[in-house]
Structure 1
Amino acid sequence: MNRLHKTYIETILPALKKEFGRENTLSIPRLTKIVVSVGVGTKEDNHDKALVSVAEQLAIITGQKPKKTIAKQAIAGFKTRQGDVIGLMVTLHGDRMWEFMDKLSSIVLPRVKDFQGISNTGFDGHGNYNLGMTEQIVFPEIEYDKIDRIRGLQVTIVTSAKNDVEAKKLLVLLGVPFAKVESAS
């Protein structure tokens, strides 16, 4: 069992039960899955080479083989056709999810240049959090010399929380560093 998962079961779960005043353990917010995705697009000259490179990097970062994301419809402005491979994604569950969350909150986010905490506006209204990262080199597994170019990636943290307040409380207790909200006084 992962360190963060053990902490969740032993300390965070009872704290959330007490704070929300619920008896049923299953009604307490928990992590459901984490989705990590990278868009490659179709404009690159070496599109196939870029896909292979991104697939290797995503596999190293997440410990799982990525799945291709395919364009559902043609968009002339982006020069995509229906069926084009436009990116890669990985969906993490179970132990890999907990390991990735632990690594993200304790190692990766503090390595971001000029990091002041993640934005409070990344919630979607249903208890999920979306985090965009501008470069993949903040992950310790990625070697700077072996990447073809710096790419951004999207991390979606899906929780069982019914609203954003519960989700934020869960993520704060899991150690996710949010930016301080300045009060207007």
Structure 2
Amino acid sequence: MARLKDIFRNELAPKLKEDLKLANVMEVPRVTKITLNMGLGEAVTDKKIIENALADLEKITGQKGVVTYSRKSIAGFKIRDGWPIGVKVTLRNDRMYEFLDRLLSISLPRVRDFRGLNPRSFDGRGNYSMGVKEQIIFPEIDYDKIDALRGLDITLTTTARNDEEGRALLNAFKFPFRQ
């Protein structure tokens, strides 16, 4: 079992149950999935970019990514319907907890000029989204082997009913929010 999952089950869930004044431990909000997305608008000109981004995401997550395609043509962006424009990975269960553990303990401290995560990036339903400007903050990525610095979006989907419950859950995981 993943280290963070074990900590959540044995320590954080009972504490959150008391803090949020819930009747049952099954009502405690939990993280259901983590989605990593790389939007690659520049992939229109070079198809190799998609392959490199897929390889990067696979190294970061340990799971094969899925190519996302444009849904309609937009002349201003010079894209056509059905062209590959991004890559995404959805993590659940043990892989999700292992990724979350690596993100909090290794990757976020490696961000240059890191002042904390934006506490207002909740969506109103307890889910949290954040952006990473460079994929090299992850130790799995070798700086000498990348072709370009790419950012990615990380979304944590939770069972929280509102932002307060979501914030309490992420604070229990010791997310470094800005004050």
| TM superposition score category, shorter chain reference | over 0.9
For residues 119 and 78 of structure 2, what CA distance do their matches in structure 1 show?
Answer: 34
Name 2:158's counterpart in structure 1: 159
For residues 128 and 94 of structure 1, what CA distance do their matches in structure 2 show?
Answer: 17
Name the aligned partner's letter for residue 21 of structure 2: G
Name 1:8's counterpart in structure 2: 8
Name the aligned partner's letter for residue 76 of structure 2: G
Q: CA deviation at 1:169?
A: 0.9
Extract unaligned runs of 5+ from structure 1. Answer: 181-185
Q: State whether structure 2 residue 73 is matched by structure 1 residue 99.
A: no
Q: Cα RMSD (Å) of the superposition?
A: 1.0
**TM-score, normalising length from structure 2?**
0.97
Name 1:117's counterpart in structure 2: 116
For residues 170 and 176 of structure 2, what CA distance do their matches in structure 1 show?
Answer: 8
Extract unaligned runs of 5+ from structure 2. Answer: none
Q: CA deviation at 1:106?
A: 1.0
- Identity, in percent, stands at 46
**TM-score, normalising length from structure 1?**
0.94
For residues 113 and 122 of structure 2, what CA distance do their matches in structure 1 show?
Answer: 22
**CA deviations over 1:23-58 (Å, ceiling 9, x no partner):** 22221100000000101125653x221111111000
Name 1:81's counterpart in structure 2: 80
- Against the structure 1 CA distance between its residues 44 and 71, is the aligned structure 2 distance closer, same or farther, given a 3 Å change threshold? closer
For residues 77 and 99 of structure 1, what CA distance do their matches in structure 2 show?
Answer: 40
- Alignment partner of 2:41: what SS? coil
For residues 92 and 164 of structure 2, what CA distance do their matches in structure 1 show?
Answer: 23
Q: State whether structure 2 residue 55 is matched by structure 1 residue 56.
A: yes
Q: Conserved in 2, the CA contact under 8 Å of 1:42 and 1:80?
A: no
For residues 31 and 51 of structure 1, what CA distance do their matches in structure 2 show?
Answer: 29
Q: Which shifted more, 125-134 or 74-83?
A: 74-83
State the number of aligned residues: 179
For residues 91 and 28 of structure 1, what CA distance do their matches in structure 2 show?
Answer: 22
